[in-house]
Structure formats: C-alpha cells, structure tokens
A and B are shown apart, each in its own frame.
Chain A
C-alpha cells in the first residue's frame, strides 16, 4: 500500500516513515502542507496520514483540497490537541478517522488497516474469498482444509501477503504489474517487473498447490485479479 505521510515534526516524521516501511508500506512523505498536497495530487496514494498543524498550508486545507480534487483515498488525521472541536473540524473537512498524539504505533497501523479495508468495501477485518480467509488484523491467511473443515494457516512472506492483500482489497479489478510494484515494492529497490511475477507464482504455489482453485487470475497483457466482491 502506498501511504502519504504529511507531518512537520522531522523526528516524528522519520520515526513514522521507518515504522510504516517496516510494516510493508511504500511511503511518500512531506514536511509541510504545500509539498504534501502536491504529493497527494500527483501520486497514486492508497491512504494518507495528515497532521493538522502544518506550515504553509494547514492540514484542514490540504484535506479540503484533496477532496475537492476528487481524491477519495482514506485520510487519517493526527492531532496534538485532543479537543473535539479540532477532531470534528478535521472529520468534517473530509478525513475518515483521527488519532491523538502521542499514540502507539500499533494503534496507528490497526486504524490504517481498518480504513483500507473499509474503503475497499469490506465490512469485517476478515476478508473471505473462495476457500481462503485473510485476517487483516493479524495479517495472516487461512485455507479451509478439505479433510477436517478446519482453517489451516498458510505461511506467507511479508511481500507475498502484501500482494495478496492488495489484490483482495481491490477485488474484482485488474491490477497491472506496475501498479503492484508502485504500491508494494519500495522505490529504492530496482523496479523489475519480474519481481511481481515471482511473487504471484509463489503465492499460487502456496495457496493452490494442486491447481484446483485458481484464486488469482492472470489477464494477459493487463495484470492480475482476484474475482471477488467485497462483503
């Protein structure tokens, strides 16, 4: 997932970027509202974290501008002031959730997950498709065993999980290899479209070893998709 972080405190900014990257996000970041707004409008963002007290352009204004330009990705606001007036103002301007500083990083990640999932249309943190369930909270995948009717966990690497989660959250849509790379594989690595093919291959092997279920569909020349509608 590509996250936009606009936070003017350099220390906090660095901390958050590191932690987000650690949890598999590709991060675009800015230290002021003007730069942040530019990034939000120019890059394909999946989710944004915006601090309300920003220099140049205020957080509220950035949110209003993004929404005015039809940017619909979920926005979580960070605020140092826990007064309700501020929270309501931010939410009214177009944000979807808020977090009061200081916060625990786990709280932030959990909320981001919930927002993504909700935005994709899933009402529960557990996403089900075909014989599988993906728990976005624990970031694990389960397969219903034919024999015991139990759910067996499938071991996936962080990136494999990310790819699967992305395809599932955009269920039904065809996602190109470059889109997957842009949103999942961090920019400082060499962008090699082969990488995605490798991930998909490995995923298929782990999820569907006997090739009976075919959870991921290849669209020649376009990309991949998981045919499922959000519930």
Chain B
C-alpha cells in the first residue's frame, strides 16, 4: 500500500515536472522566435544598407556598390555576415569583403519575383535573405539585381544553447526548491496522523485512556470512533469483571451450605444439600455467563430483519413444545430493519416466547408494531398469568438471581438486562384478549 507521503510526493513530482517542463518548452519557444526574428531583421537592415550604399556607375548609370561599406561587419574578411549581388544577367557580380577567405558559395539558380524577398535557412548553418530589385540605368532599361545577404548561424545557435542552459538551471533549481518546500509542508500537514499514532502507542502501553480531542476535522470522526471502541472494550471488561465478582459472591452461599452439610457428617443432609445447591449453582453460573455475553448498545451492530428472527424462534419452539400443540400467531404491521446485536435480540424473543409456550395453553400472540420513534413488541399468552403484585419483583430481577418468581427462572432477568442496555422499557399487564400475561416491550429506533 503506497503511503500518503509517497502519494503526495509522486503526484507533486509529476505535476512539477509537467508544469516546469511545459513552461520551459514555451519559454524556449518564445526565445527562439525572438532570436530568429532579430536575425531576420538584421539581415533586412543589411540589405537596405546595401541598397543605400549603391551608386550609379558613371557611364551607364547601372547599379554599383563600393568595395568597402559603411557597415564594418561586411568589410571584415571571414566575418559571419557576407553579401553578394548578381545582376544584369550575371554580367555584374559584387562580393562583400567578408566573403574573402570564407567558404561562401554562390547561390545557384534562384527564381525570385521582382520586389520580393526570400528568407531561407540552409542546413541550420546559414541564414540567407535574398531581395530582387530593379535599377533603371541611363538608357532607361530596368536592370534586375539579386541581393543576397547571409549570416552564419553558429552565433545564434550558441545564444540559444546558452539560454537553454540558463533556463534549465533556473527551472530545475526552483523545481528542487519547490519539492523541498513541499516535503516540509507535507510533514507539517501529516503531523496530526503522527500524533494519533503516538497517542495510540501510549494507549497501548496503558499510559493514556483515550485519544485527545485536538484533531483536524478530517480525522475527528475517526478518532471519535476509536475512542468509542476503546470505551466499549473498557466497559465490556468492566462488565466481565463485575459478572465474575457477582458470581463469586453469589456462589459463596451455596458452597457454604454444602460445606456445612459435609461437616455435619449426616449423609442425608449432605445429599439434600448437594441436590438443592447444585441447581442453584448451575443457575447462578448460567445467569452470569448470559449477562456477560450481552453485546449491548454501541457494539458492532448488524441490521437485522426482525420478522426472520421471530419466525425462526417460533419454528424452534413449535418443535420443542410439539406436544402442547400451541398456535402462535405473529403479526407485524410492516417490515423494518433494526440495528442491534442479533444474539441479544434472539435472547429477548427466545426467553419471552419460551415462557409463553411453557405457561400458555393453546394460544399465543406476538405483535410487532413500528412507530415513528419506537418499535413495540407485544407478547400475550392464554396461561394463568402472574399476580399483579409480582410484576415489580419480576422486573427487578436484573440484580441478583436469588429470588424465584413463580418459576420464571433466570430467563426473564436476562431479558430485563438486555432491554435496559438498549434503553428500552418493559411493561407487564394482563392480556384482555387471551387472559394470560401480556408483555409490552418498547425499544427506541435509532435514526438511520
């Protein structure tokens, strides 16, 4: 997995290269254009100065040029600028002094319309400007002359190279500086991540409990979630510890009873004591184990299809209580997905329905109503029900699994615990329809 550092680095490197490359290319293009234009203009100027230096040949009036010109650049042999004029059907030829001792070649067969200029670059070594002019001699005949001015390109090429070099250095240099700057910026930007890493290490060591609140907006939801997870495992561990503590505490009494019976040396007493206390001990262990395994709020919930779970439980209980031939009617007004722990939900429905099947005679009804902010689960049976004054006791069961209320066992206590954890309510009443017990469970619906 490519690190964020690498990502940012690679992307800025690519961007910089593209940008600087493009800039460099454009700048070089402009420079070249400018330099070429300048060269061309220079050649034109020389052409015109040549014309300005022309004079009439005293006898014929034809165009003639002096040996040496005003512009010293054409007078120096071997200079980079050469001029040549040919005219009168090749009868007249004039070479600038600079052509002496140079590799000047007379241009061959040039067709140029009168008054037109032609600019060519020969093998990138020579830039040549040609101009076809006419000159009226004393006999009023228009003589045609071709003016050719050449310049060696090595100067301009050198200039271009020098520019490229300079450009390269400056662009490259600034690119490098930018990269360095970027790395520093990156380091600074990613500091919160490093901080989070450090804090997590501290939490692992146990020197810190939670991530601090000082995080940029993008990380805030992440750190909040991490803190929630941490809190969850802390409270779960706490719950386990409490359960173990409760269990150890509650086991002391039955163990003491067995110990006492053992010490009494009365076999019958011992037998009775073991039989009774075994049941009690089993119940206690089961209850605490179940309590400890409640996932509760804030765990990783899945979205559950409630009617699928209810139908599964009904099918199971139909099997277990097949002898009783009980009919369980299940109604729900509409399907709704609920966010909870599937195990917890099954625990609630399993325990309540199990009681209904156990104490019911022929009919049970289960209603699931979806309201705007809550869902209501109503379970009614046609059994004998429970006396009203025992409702409170049954609902208080969540604390200690000591008192038995009309044989309802520990199942109801677990249900109470779970409903409490999900911040719901339980209401017990008499069922008007079926005559037995009616249990109404209300659970808040979290906003999706």
Contact = CB atoms under 8 A, between A and B. Distances in A.
A88 B320 contact: no
Interface in A79-112: 81-85, 87-88, 91-92, 95-98, 100, 102
Given A92-B312, A92-B316, A100-B286, A84 B323 contact: no
Given A100-B286, A114-B323, A118-B323, A83 B347 contact: yes
A118 B322 CA distance: 8
A87 B319 CA distance: 12
B351 interface: yes
Interface string A52-89: 00000000000000000000000000000111110110
B323 A87 contact: no
Q: Is the interface of B mostly helix, strand, loop or mixed?
A: helix
B320 A91 contact: yes
A91 B315 contact: yes
A84 B349 CA distance: 9
Q: Is the interface of A mostly helix, strand, loop or mixed?
A: mixed
A222 interface: no
Contacts of B312: 88, 92
B290 interface: yes
Contact of A88 (B286, B289, B316, B325): B316
B315 A83 contact: no
Nearest to A101: B282
B350 A84 contact: yes
Contacts of B350: 84-85, 87-88
B87 to A, nearest CB: 111
Interface in B349-378: 349-351, 354
A84 B351 contact: yes
A139 interface: no
A92 B286 contact: no
Interface centre among A82, A92, A102, A123 (most CB of B within 10 A): A82
A91 B319 contact: yes
Nearest to B294: A83
B290 A87 contact: no
A66 to B, nearest CB: 16
Interface residues of B, number: 22
B343 A83 contact: yes
B342 interface: yes
A5 B108 CA distance: 115
Contact of A84 (B282, B313, B322): B313
A10 B340 CA distance: 38
A81 B343 CA distance: 12
A84 B320 contact: no
A92 B322 CA distance: 15
A209 to B, nearest CB: 34
Contacts of A98: 320
A21 to B, nearest CB: 24
Interface in B312-334: 312-313, 315-316, 319-320, 322-323, 325
B425 interface: no
B403 interface: no
B346 interface: yes
Interface string B285-299: 010011001000000
Given A82-B286, A82-B290, A96 B319 contact: yes
Nearest to B351: A84
A181 B351 CA distance: 43
Given A91-B315, A97-B320, A84 B286 contact: no
A222 to B, nearest CB: 32
Contacts of B323: 114, 118, 123
Contacts of A100: 286
A31 B349 CA distance: 33
A119 B349 CA distance: 27
Given A98-B320, A100-B286, A114-B323, A85 B315 contact: no
Contacts of A96: 319-320, 322
Contacts of B346: 83-85, 88
Contacts of A123: 323, 325
Given A83-B290, A91-B320, A97-B319, 7 more contacts: A84-B343, A84-B347, A84-B349, A84-B350, A84-B351, A85-B347, A85-B350
Nearest first, the 6 A-B pairs at minimum CB distance are A84-B350, A91-B316, A85-B343, A84-B346, A85-B346, A88-B316
Interface of B: 282, 286, 289-290, 293, 312-313, 315-316, 319-320, 322-323, 325, 342-343, 346-347, 349-351, 354
